[in-house]
Amino acid sequence: MSGHEMRKSALRRYVVFRIKAMEFLDLNALRNSLKDNQISPAPQIRLPQFMADSVRTVVLSWFALFVDKNGLDVTKLWIELFPKHATRVREAWTRMEPVWKTIREFRDCAGFHADKPKKFFAARYKIRADDQKLDAALKEFVELLKFFLKAESDELPDLETALDGLLDDLEKEHGAIYKRGQFKAYLMIRETPKNELSATEPAR
């Protein structure tokens, strides 16, 4: 594979990550707001702190999806697309790695999946036992993610072009129309195209 094709592939994988990353940030912000009693959803079935624990299940599972070598493997992707920050990524991962096994087991046994009762409850127990370390790892990841979101404008000038090319290919394959303006919600398109849909219509 040529250098051009390798970068094209990496940018397209990054587009997928970016969509999931924005969802992750939304979920983490919701969890923190519930945990801090800043919001009280209605109709309220359970207390906000219990709802925060429910959202945390998804946040930790999303985290595992990002880091897993069989998932998005984002630490490798960051190093590939932002090579001058490779040391920063590796140092951050060194701080997150000690709780990685706990997060992965939780995802597999009690997060995105539900294992047999003993494994299910053992995984839930471990994340409570390592509560402070897990929160520190999440904070580390969120800070790294936000750093790269800011770095994109200078260091990934071809991201929007890569997104546009991917959508062109998907339109040909699926016979569908992907409205570029809707991707502004994921902060991947800087200017409003003429054919932008209303803000209330979801992106496909």
Residue for token digits 């003429």? 194
pLDDT tens per residue, range 45-60: 888 889 999 999 999 9
Rounded to 10 deg, the angle between the 131-155 and 74-81 helix axes is 30
Q: Which of 17, 18, 11, 19 is closest to 165 using CA atoms?
A: 11
49-64 exposure pattern, b = at least 16 Cβ within 10 A, e = fewer: eebbbebbbbbbbbbb
- In tens, the pLDDT along 15-41 reads 999 999 999 999 999 999 999 988 877
pLDDT at 191: 57
For residue range 81-113, list pLDDT tens digits in order. Answer: 999 999 999 999 999 999 999 999 999 999 999
Report which secondary-structure segment, H or E, holds 196: none
Instruction: Note the pLDDT of residue 4.
Output: 85
Residue 80 CA to chain centroid, in angstroms?
A: 17
The answer on pLDDT for 193 being more than 50 is no
Residue 194, pLDDT above cutoff 80: no
- Check whether 9 has a pLDDT greater than 60: yes
**What is the rounded CA–CA span in Å between residue 184 and residue 204?**
13
More confident residue, 191 or 127: 127
Length of the chain: 204
Q: Which of 54, 36, 17 is nearest to 144 (CA)?
A: 17
Helices and strands in the chain: count of H runs, count of E runs: 8, 0
Once rounded to an integer, what is the mean pLDDT over residues 140-151? 96
CA distance linking residue 103 with residue 10, whole number of Å: 25
- 169/166 Cα distance (integer angstroms): 5
What is the token pair recorded at 29? Answer: 């912000």
At 58, the amino acid letter reads V
Percentage of the chain exceeding pLDDT 90: 74
